[in-house]
Amino acid sequence: MYKTTNLKTDPNKDYKIKEIYIKVKGDQVFCNDYGDDLTKLIDDLGWDYQSMSSSGREIYDKICHLLNTVPENEVYMEI
């Protein structure tokens, strides 16, 4: 997995800009540290899949399809 940390300071503002990089290429996922943290949090959210509403599960499945963690024709878990 490719990781870099991109934390930039905007010279005109007093806050930091966090760049989240996630690239899905076939079965490979490339991301920076923030992208890695985000994908891990989404994965952890799967533990609550059964307690999600049906629309929450549908959205979670779509996110997993975008990240290629669940094949397009499948859902995270059959309930």
Give residue-wise pLDDT tens across range 45-78.
Answer: 999 999 999 999 999 999 999 999 998 899 998 8
**Number of folded domains in the chain?**
1
Report the predicted TM-score, pTM, of the whole model to 2 decimal places. 0.76
User: Measured between alpha carbons, how far is 44 from 14 in angstroms, rounded to an integer?
Assistant: 32
Confirm whether 72 is domain-assigned: no
Closest Cα partner for 31 from 71, 58, 66? Answer: 66
Closest Cα partner for 69 from 7, 27, 18, 9? Answer: 27
Confirm whether 2 is domain-assigned: no
Confirm whether 71 is domain-assigned: no
The residue that leads in pLDDT, 7 or 23, is: 23
Q: What is the pLDDT of residue 14?
A: 72
**Least confident window among 2-6, 27-31, 43-47, 64-68:** 2-6
Structural domain including 35 reads 7-66
